[in-house]
A = this chain, B = another copy of it.
Amino acid sequence: MAVTIKDVARLADVAPSTVSRVIANNPRISEKTKRKVKEAMEYLGYHPNFNARSLANRSTQAIGLVMPSSADHAFQNPFFPEVIRGISTKAHEKEYALYMSTGKTEDEIFDGVVQMVQGRRVDGIILLYSRVDDRIMTYLQQQQFPFTVIGKPFKNADCITHIDNDNYKASQELTEYLISLGHERIGFVGGNLNLVVTIDRLLGYEKAIRDAALDYKDHYIVHEQFLKEGGQEAVKELFSLPDPPTALVVMDDLMTFGVISTLKELGLSVPDDISVASFNNVMISELSTPPLTSVDINIFQLGYEAAVGLLDCIQTCKLGKRVVVPHKLIIRQSCKPKLEGLETKETV
């Protein structure tokens, strides 16, 4: 049996409540007994039982993390480790631990959240993604349970604390960059259209295209899943068009790897035959061949601020803050100017 507060109390010759006060660093306790108790704790190797504390306290010192279904392989995206690193950093400052429910399907994940919330396993929750019509978000709102969202809520954005980039603007800028290189036929390779981030980036792209008085063509827009499976088809179709794009805006660095790989199969090379620009600027982007031009969205900070926001929620029960994390275009070697009059070689 582990050593409890009572054992400490007995050894220090005080009441259990006194020991509890010492732990909580209650100011009105004499230095003398404080020392005495601490010695006893040290001697016995005492460590507080978190469950007992949570029960009495109704606070767990843990934050729940909700990821997209690990079934779709979004999981493998380096975005997640990095955003968690950000969350973890802030959490640690306040001595919070992280809690993840397990579960593959939609329903399992939802049940996991319910368990976290109703089972009082966590003090608050961070949603690591934002989708159109998300049950979980609706549920958390109903429950008035503290939570923050990474990304922009599809609706009620002004009463949900969320941390986001200005993806609309970022996408617009990225597209404008390609336009400034002389590209006129620019495709968009998006991911899951249920994700709000996909929508925002698509809209930003459209804005830039229209502002530049270029044709906004539906068939320049394809959506592959974040990773390669199946997505290859979409890209291949794009390049079997009579007027294939000369540049591509891609949702995500990881997807870009898939795109580049597919293009290579088609005999097209980046950036010589086609320019590619994307988002996230994960570490490997810099190391890839060619190094990717990418919008750095400050993933770490996204996570850090989400934790800041959540801890705020937990303390003050206030919701509705919007934090915008700045982005920055990082220009590397995956884009080249479109030379006037020099047509991209037609696909096979």
Instruction: Spell out A's residues near B (CB within 8 Å).
Output: 2, 47-52, 54-55, 60, 62, 70, 73, 75-78, 80-82, 85, 88-89, 91-92, 96-104, 108, 112, 114-116, 118-121, 227-228, 254, 257-258, 260-261, 264, 282-284, 286-289, 291
Contact = CB atoms under 8 A, between A and B. Distances in A.
Nearest to A97: B101
* A-side interface mostly: helix
Given A76-B283, A78-B81, 9 more contacts: A2-B118, A78-B78, A91-B102, A92-B103, A97-B115, A98-B102, A99-B99, A257-B288, A288-B288
Given A47-B114, A55-B51, A119-B50, A88 B76 contact: no
Nearest to A119: B50
B50 A120 contact: yes
B47 A119 contact: yes
Contacts of A88: 70, 100, 102-103
Given A47-B115, A75-B81, A121 B97 contact: yes
Given A47-B114, A88-B70, A118-B47, A102 B97 contact: yes
Contacts of A96: 102
B97 A97 contact: no
